Structure 1
Amino acid sequence: MAAIQFRVRLVAAEGPILEEILDATYAIWSEGLTRDNYARWNAAQMRTAWGKDHLRRFALVDDRGRWVASAKRYLLPMRLDGVDGVMCGLGAVFTRREERGRGYAGEIINQLIDRSRGEGATVAGLFSEIGEELYRRLGFVTVPMDEVDIEVDRKHGAPAMLVRSGEERDLPALASMHTKRTEGVPLRFALRRDPALIEYALSKKRLLAGLGFGPGPRGARQTEFFVAEEGASAAAYVVLTVSAGGWTLEEAGDRDPAGARLGAILQVLLAREPSRPAPLIRAWWPRLMPVPPQLRLTNRIPARDIFMLRPIENVRIPDRADDVFYWRSDYF
């Protein structure tokens, strides 16, 4: 690896620099959007109530005023070993093509971690699409998580339960369900998901589906959010991404310790088209999340998107899937 040739400084990626970065990264992370809609999707995420305070894109700029690397930085509230803290989430790490092999990816990661330490972060995290080796050299450790297929019992038809579309007023109930599942249990790491963070995760997926609507398999992608009520509030819910390839269960919750209402929601949704074969349903299913009696988890494998953490302060990194509670919805 060649040494860094020029001094570099960390700046917010804005204006012409941001446009160049979007041009360079469009082919990798556009998710089937047009170039204009890729820019709109990124900008809209940062304008959400949660994103405007917790999400920024940065660039490394050299002495010539030229950007050489970029990354998104998220400040995510989390709990590690019973202590509330902040995770510096790192996403879309990218080095300008002609500058690769000079260590700029590691430099921007290290500078963002140093910056986040001053903002209260005790751990840094990322999802790797390029394997583990590069990030291991930078001090990251792989955190195991599971990916599963979900089979839903359809033998007895749909239960007599009202399922409706989720709304903004349901978000506090969703946050409460998550807190109940992740506090006071033998669990080492989980996000602290408040209504604003849940709304951000939903908005990100809805924006992607809306901006990408059109011909082609990705243009048929939809985000569906359903709840079952008890009284006047949500008692169980699911968030799904529906596409030509099947369903992805992005997140779910149930006030019922056994999860029976969650299972019933999925039965109701499948009963909308009773004559069609059940779609393939995939999920990251946290091991401490109860499996509803109507569901069966099969084909368990390590999650294909590799989750890695690096300590910033004196903390221990979880090393078992049993220790982590994390939904696909919070991928960054």
Structure 2
Amino acid sequence: MQVRNASRDELVGVLTAAHAVWGRGRALEDFVAFHLALADSPWGRQHSRYLVRADDTDRPVSALRIDSLVGRLDDRPVRIAELGALFTIPEARGRGHANALLGRALEEARRAGHELAMLVASMPQSLYERAGFDSLPASETACRTAMPAPWPKEPAWLSSGDDPLARIAGLRRGGEDDLAAIAAIHAEETAQQRLRIDRDPVAWEFVLMKSGMPRGRGHDEDRFWVIERGGRVRAYVLLQAEPPTLCWREHGASRDARVLLAELFWCALSLARRRRLDRIEGWHVPEILTLGPLYPASQRSRKTDRVMLRSLDPALVTPVFANEEECRLWELDAL
């Protein structure tokens, strides 16, 4: 059995086979083209690759992606190998291919100088636990977009169906020109985490490409919103519609403008209602929503999409975190 970097043809074959599992409703051609574009992007060429495990006939039967990230742990710089898209073709499952490929990927990541390995477990976690991974604190929040009776804190304009662009001062659709501003806000948002992933401008381009953020302004996808006050962007949110759900992917606000996150939630709720989506869900939504409560929402520990971490450095013990605020993996970093 051989483990190697995937060739272009092998990558196309792996993506074609994985489409049924990872396609998320995309047409096969679009799914393959999207992931090839990620691999060909400036960040992807330098920091991302696919490994395949071939059987005795040299046919790839299992694959995964390794992204090389930079971050900080307890204020020291660390390199983090993020593993994702682990897949074994159906006829080869149950023969240890995924386990062997995972072990090889971890060893290669260690040799390349990564101190930590991280992944998001959407499949049974026992495979990763056997490989030395521990789950990190991770939650999710959800709310219904329609209530049995009017919610008293809901703005009148929202109840009457008005356009949020006409009602929220400084609200507009975001675009590429806003990248530097939201990068600065995100850096401030994560600065107090014991463990965090840092994004330079090229990494930002990559994560926004992964999220499918529309390029330019005025796009009808309505995924990227900012609030501008005093001539600069003070808050942002990235959304994604996956019917019947509007996914709250990421948000941020300047420290002295946290109240604007409430306005962005009302914008998202208006968008969800116009599209007749049943609920809004996210790994992390603004605290102002749940602590107020601004609007009825339920928060719970995540049972799927669990963030898992292990040390690759014998001198570094895998840290224990008291809560999610110390080690939050933002959803854009995990897509």
Q: TM-score, normalised by structure 1?
A: 0.82
Partner of 1:200: 206
Change (3 A) 1:188 1:308: same
Provide the aligned length of Structure 1 versus Structure 2: 310
Gapped runs of 5+ residues in structure 2?
A: 145-150, 158-163
Give the SS at the match of 1:110: helix
Distance 2:37 2:141 in 1: 31
Partner of 1:42: 35
Partner of 1:90: 83
Give the SS at the match of 2:42: coil
Aligned residue type for 2:50? R
Q: CA deviation at 1:268?
A: 4.0
Distance 1:191 1:274 in 2: 33
Alignment of 1:104-253 (within 5 A): 104-149=97-142, 153-157=153-157, 160-183=168-191, 185=192, 187-206=193-212, 222=221, 224-253=223-252
The partner residue of 1:323 within 307, 312, 326 is: 326
Give the SS at the match of 1:121: coil
Work out whether residues 259 and 290 of structure 1, in 8 Å CA contact, stay in contact via their aligned partners in 2: no
Work out whether residues 189 and 324 of structure 1, in 8 Å CA contact, stay in contact via their aligned partners in 2: yes
Change (3 A) 1:305 1:271: closer
- Residues 29-52 of structure 1: CA deviation (Å, up to 9, x unaligned): 111122221210111112233222
Q: CA deviation at 1:181?
A: 2.1
Alignment of 1:6-25 (within 5 A): 7-8=1-2, 10-25=3-18
Work out whether residues 241 and 248 of structure 1, in 8 Å CA contact, stay in contact via their aligned partners in 2: yes
Distance 2:239 2:274 in 1: 21
Work out whether residues 189 and 253 of structure 2, in 8 Å CA contact, stay in contact via their aligned partners in 1: no
Q: CA deviation at 1:269?
A: 5.0
Task: Kindly indicate whether residue 266 of structure 2 is the aligned counterpart of residue 267 of structure 1.
Answer: yes
Change (3 A) 1:275 1:121: closer
Q: CA deviation at 1:64?
A: 3.7
- Residues 251-280 of structure 1: CA deviation (Å, up to 9, x unaligned): 001003461112213324545798898852
Gapped runs of 5+ residues in structure 1?
A: 1-6, 211-220
Change (3 A) 1:91 1:177: same
- Residues 256-308 of structure 1: CA deviation (Å, up to 9, x unaligned): 3461112213324545798898852111117xx65366844721112231111
Distance 1:193 1:203 in 2: 13
Partner of 2:160: none
Work out whether residues 141 and 317 of structure 1, in 8 Å CA contact, stay in contact via their aligned partners in 2: no
Work out whether residues 228 and 234 of structure 1, in 8 Å CA contact, stay in contact via their aligned partners in 2: yes
- Residues 6-35 of structure 1: CA deviation (Å, up to 9, x unaligned): x42x32212332233223212111111222
More helix by share: 2
- Residues 61-114 of structure 1: CA deviation (Å, up to 9, x unaligned): 355422232111111222222222121111111223343333221221122222
Partner of 1:291: 288
Change (3 A) 1:106 1:223: farther
Distance 2:117 2:274 in 1: 47
Q: CA deviation at 1:161?
A: 0.6
Work out whether residues 261 and 288 of structure 2, in 8 Å CA contact, stay in contact via their aligned partners in 1: no
Aligned residue type for 2:211? K
Change (3 A) 1:64 1:274: closer
Partner of 1:213: none
Distance 1:107 1:67 in 2: 13
Give the SS at the match of 1:325: coil
Work out whether residues 284 and 326 of structure 1, in 8 Å CA contact, stay in contact via their aligned partners in 2: no
Q: Kindly, what percent of the aligned residue pairs are identical? A: 26
Aligned residue type for 1:244? P
Change (3 A) 1:297 1:204: farther
Aligned residue type for 2:258? G
CA RMSD of aligned residues (A): 2.9
Work out whether residues 318 and 324 of structure 1, in 8 Å CA contact, stay in contact via their aligned partners in 2: no
Work out whether residues 55 and 74 of structure 1, in 8 Å CA contact, stay in contact via their aligned partners in 2: yes
Distance 2:126 2:134 in 1: 10
- Residues 214-252 of structure 1: CA deviation (Å, up to 9, x unaligned): xxxxxxx94610111134432110000124313111000
Work out whether residues 62 and 89 of structure 2, in 8 Å CA contact, stay in contact via their aligned partners in 1: yes
Work out whether residues 50 and 65 of structure 2, in 8 Å CA contact, stay in contact via their aligned partners in 1: yes
Change (3 A) 1:250 1:101: same
